[in-house]
A = this chain, B = another copy of it.
């Protein structure tokens, strides 16, 4: 294994993949259990899923990878997830990983791929970052089928008396396309009903959240039929079921519901399935992938989007209460870079270079943020292993400062990770500490709130106990929305809080662990199909734009199909 400086794509291309059935065989799935998409990608067959979930194999332990409040560069959650899975297999454990599917939007915008990086990637990375097995395309098509049926209903008699100003179902596209944020449809002489509309990224569609929570096809269809797509002239909800779209939509998602399986660079089996947003949805891969993964492996390493206060909290309060899953240990990804970013109170972000100089004081000043994440996570009753994702510019003194700070903290360990540059070998310390934590774990996991608490109680629990707010202000339509949700019976469900990921608070400029502030909640709406309520605290970006010179402009493909500029 080399740690030469190479691009992710070059590293990925330098590795000889095994046929995927050879990767899954030691984990109990042979070739007949797979629906192949070429030799290196597969969906798990429905029969194999049923057999795994209905069989009496014991569940493996779930290790949840989450992170501190990141810099805009991200601190390497996916890399750590992939690397930890590889490291666990290196130390003799049977470990699976489960991560989200990338969206095309960021790939062509600025972010590049989302399949890990360096020597901790999932393969074939270019396929996974492009069309993969078509799940996201199926979601886009399914989403827009509902839109087309809804507008056809409105323009062809409107029997359900839908108020065209109260349509709650946007259109979806899997690109960063600013011009589609707000649109007017049915314009000109199109014969449609003219109305305001918007587009969201497919990852932000409620269908994505549904796909990631559905247990089987029937559940999927029932959830789809509950989606509120509009309100009628009396203000009553109109659902996808009411416009008779549930069956056809479920047909389009039939294949997408089955988890995809691929391999990491070291041949660890990787479930890559679903990718909901972590602000207006729950931000983690599909429950079905998790269910399958914990049956196949003794360990399932999975990740939650954004920092621990967003995706991490949602995994434990939302996903664990909607599905049959709970973590046995937390890996909290931190970096010297992010610690300095908080310690230096750097906002706006001044770029990576500024953070490459040794500055132990800044690292120590940044503990404020990491400490808060640690104590947040400890409230759930779980052991926390901080994984310092070590970058080449980090110094030993900086790393040592982190180790020292946490050495005597109860239920907390620190491990250094160099999985980006070294693959699983760079995650052995982390793997050993995490397995140790799992072995000593007493099973005391508890979500922070009960589902039968009021919506306000649930919001206030997260705001005060996780974000560190003094309390919550309900502004805009929030009070009315809560009253309506209670009337609809949508109050005994988890609440997904949508908040900036740049800070623990609702102000992206505030680094560390801000105190003395109050969270403004300005709007709530039901994701009735997914089974949660979304509470918005600020502007939500569900449709990013491309920069003046998008990443796509530098991409190319040569005559033999070799891609360049993609990553």
Contact = CB atoms under 8 A, between A and B. Distances in A.
A144 B172 CA distance: 12
A555 B137 CA distance: 20
A183 B182 contact: no
Interface in A163-196: 171, 173-193, 195-196
Interface stretch (A55-63, A248-256, A321-329, A337-345): A248-256
A188 B181 contact: yes
A contact patch SS? mixed
Residue among A104, A157, A177, A553 with most chain B CB within 10 A: A177
Contacts of A556: 247, 250-251
B248 A555 contact: yes
A545 interface: yes
Interface stretch (A31-39, A259-267, A519-527): A31-39
A137 B104 CA distance: 12
B191 A178 contact: yes
Contacts of A245: 552-553
A241 to B, nearest CB: 11
Given A131-B255, A192-B181, A547-B152, A557 B221 contact: yes
A563 B254 CA distance: 10
Contacts of A54: none
Task: Bin the interface of chain A by size.
Answer: 35 or more
Contacts of A184: 183-184, 187
A141 B104 contact: yes
A189 B179 contact: no
Interface string A525-558: 0000000000000000000011110101111111
B152 A254 contact: no
A350 interface: no
29 contacts: A35-B38, A36-B37, A37-B37, A46-B560, A137-B137, A141-B175, A148-B176, A148-B178, A148-B180, A151-B177, A152-B546, A156-B546, A179-B197, A180-B190, A181-B191, A183-B186, A183-B190, A192-B545, A217-B557, A217-B558, A217-B561, A245-B552, A247-B556, A248-B555, A251-B556, A251-B557, A251-B566, A254-B557, A254-B561
